[in-house]
Structure 1
Amino acid sequence: MKKSLYFSLFILSMLAAGCKKGFPVDEDGLLITTRSDCYVSNFEILGADYQTVRTKAAVIDTVAQTVNVEVLFGTDLKNLYPQFTLVTDAKLDPKIPGKVDFSNLASPKQWTVVSGNRKVRKTYTVNLTVQKIN
């Protein structure tokens, strides 16, 4: 009986400690940290079947803030799922709710990477091209 009482008190103290204020969170409920790094480290683009449609690795330029990616000829550009890998604690704005329409190749899509401390914002342009058939 004593063991379960001590265990219950331990659990309650852990819950109370976890609920302490002082850990800043943003509007999405994500922890705000001291990290100021702000970049895309990897990019993937999936088709409607959730398989990659890239012909080769995306080229990410963290200075120019661009992602250049070529997709397979015949890819349905209206139903693509971009996936970003970001530096630790960063987040993407706007969020990607699901499929994205990339069919207007003349108008590249843009997303902003926001640093962990929420003070640095860098907008990345995703330039998509379609594989040419010889």
Structure 2
Amino acid sequence: MLALVVWVGCTPEFPVDEDGLLITERAECYVSNFELLGPDFQTVRTKNAEIDTVAQTINVEVFYGTDLRNLYPQFSLVTDAKLDPKITGKVDFSDRVNPKTYTVVSGNRKVRKPYTVNITVQKP
């Protein structure tokens, strides 16, 4: 019985970033959809979020009584883009004077656009 072992060097054909994501040639950089979930992973939005890709803002109204300290934001981004900082769990949005900002980074990692998430609470 003869066994032949061949070692082929693995050189990446395409570059990857520090997160192991493929770096592409795409320069597009925007948020296409935004969701905000409560601790039970159900939406807390009263209506669709308003995403302004020119002003780079996301305006979202949540139901009266929503615990703003325990929310899970979900961003849908253009193909190959990524979000910075990464969302790894619940987020505290209770400081509405200083809204959270997330940066969308293009597929080629050369374009960075900060999006500000403004939350309002539905009137009782």
Answer yes or no: is 1:74 the counterpart of 2:65: yes
CA distance in 1, matches of 2:92, 2:102: 14
Match of 1:84 in 2: 75
Counterpart CA distance in 2 for 1:76 and 1:95 is 21
Could you tell me how far apart the structure 2 residues matched to 1:88 and 1:49 are?
Answer: 29
Matched, 1:57 2:48: yes
- Matched residues in 1 for 2:71 and 2:54: separation? 26
Displacement of 1:34 after TM fit? 0.3
Map residues 1-134 of structure 1 onto 2, 5 A cutoff.
19-133=10-124
Identity %, equivalent residues = 75
Aligned residue-pair number = 121
Structure 1 unaligned blocks of 5 or more: 1-8
TM-superposed deviation, 1:87: 0.1
Give 1 or 2 for the bigger CA radius of gyration: 1
In 2, distance between residues paired with 1:131 and 1:51? 17
* AA aligned opposite 1:25: V
CA RMSD, aligned part only?
A: 1.7
Over residues 49-108 of structure 1, what are the superposed CA-to-partner deviations in whole Å (9 max), with x where a residue is unaligned?
A: 000000000000000000000000000110000000000000000001100001111110
Which aligned runs of 4 or more in structure 1 are off by greater than 2 angstroms?
19-22
Q: Deviations over 1:31-62 (max 9, x none)?
A: 00000000000000000000000000000000
> How many Å separate the matches in 1 of 2:12 and 2:97?
47
Distance in 1 of aligned mates of 2:43 and 2:108: 32
Structure 2: which 5+ residue stretches go unaligned? Answer: none
TM-score (structure 1 length as normaliser): 0.85
